[in-house]
Amino acid sequence: MTETEKEKAMDVGTDPLVDDYLRRLGSAASALPEHRRDELVSEIREHLQEALRQTPADDQAAVRNALERLGTPEEIAAAAVETEPHDQGDAVFERTNALAVASVVSAVLWLAGIGAVFALVFGYRAHRQIKDSAGAQAGAGLAVAGIVLGWIGVAVLVAGLVLIAVHPNKAH
């Protein structure tokens, strides 16, 4: 989030008081993950843009009043840190999706047989669960690996069956 993003808003983008306030907010919110911090700062900037929409550019009293109503940057940052699901911006703990692991294990254990089918079923399910978890679950790579191995397994199985059908004698 940079100043250039809101170039058109002449008052807020260039006002030194606002600038200083947003800078303080950014550093007070340093415990937040970066995208949350950027989002918070741009929301407050948008708020100020609305609040000062009708005010002349040099009306410092109006700017001060709008900033006062907002509260201190530290107050806002503290409220934001408090509402974060993982307190103090701790690294998000991702749990590896169990079905993704099951998918790869099935594929490896019995590549040319029923394991391949399990690998596909588990793999696709895991993939969907991980997607739905919106970042809370890890293992997307594993799920894809399980799916790929599963399809390879199915291909080998089909090739084997075709070979047996074409050369029934050589299969024994």
| Dihedral pair phi/psi, residue 84, rounded to 5° | -65, 135
46 lies in the binding site for other proteins (CB under 8 A): yes
Give dist(CA 92, CA 36) in Å, integer.
13
Between the alpha carbon of residue 97 and those of residues 58, 102, 142, the distances in Å are 56, 9, 9
9 lies in the binding site for other proteins (CB under 8 A): yes
50 lies in the binding site for other proteins (CB under 8 A): yes
63 lies in the binding site for other proteins (CB under 8 A): no
The answer to whether residues 119 and 104 touch, using CB atoms and an 8 Å cutoff, is yes
**Segment lying near other proteins (by CB under 8 A), choices 73-81, 97-105, 114-122, 148-156:** 73-81
Give dist(CA 36, CA 76) in Å, integer.
13
3-state helix, strand, coil in the chain (%, to 5): 70, 0, 25
39 lies in the binding site for other proteins (CB under 8 A): yes
Give dist(CA 24, CA 28) in Å, integer.
6
Phi/psi class of residue 169: alpha, beta or left (left: φ > 0; alpha: ψ in -120 to 50)? alpha
65 lies in the binding site for other proteins (CB under 8 A): no
111: which 2 tokens? 């590549």
49 lies in the binding site for other proteins (CB under 8 A): yes
**Segment lying near other proteins (by CB under 8 A), choices 48-56, 95-103, 125-133, 140-148:** 48-56
| Among residues 22, 63, 76, 130, the one that binds other proteins under rule CB under 8 A | 76
**Segment lying near other proteins (by CB under 8 A), choices 80-88, 90-98, 137-145, 157-165:** 80-88
Site residues for other proteins per CB under 8 A: 6, 8-9, 36, 39-40, 43-44, 46-47, 49-51, 53, 69-73, 75-76, 79-80, 82-83, 85
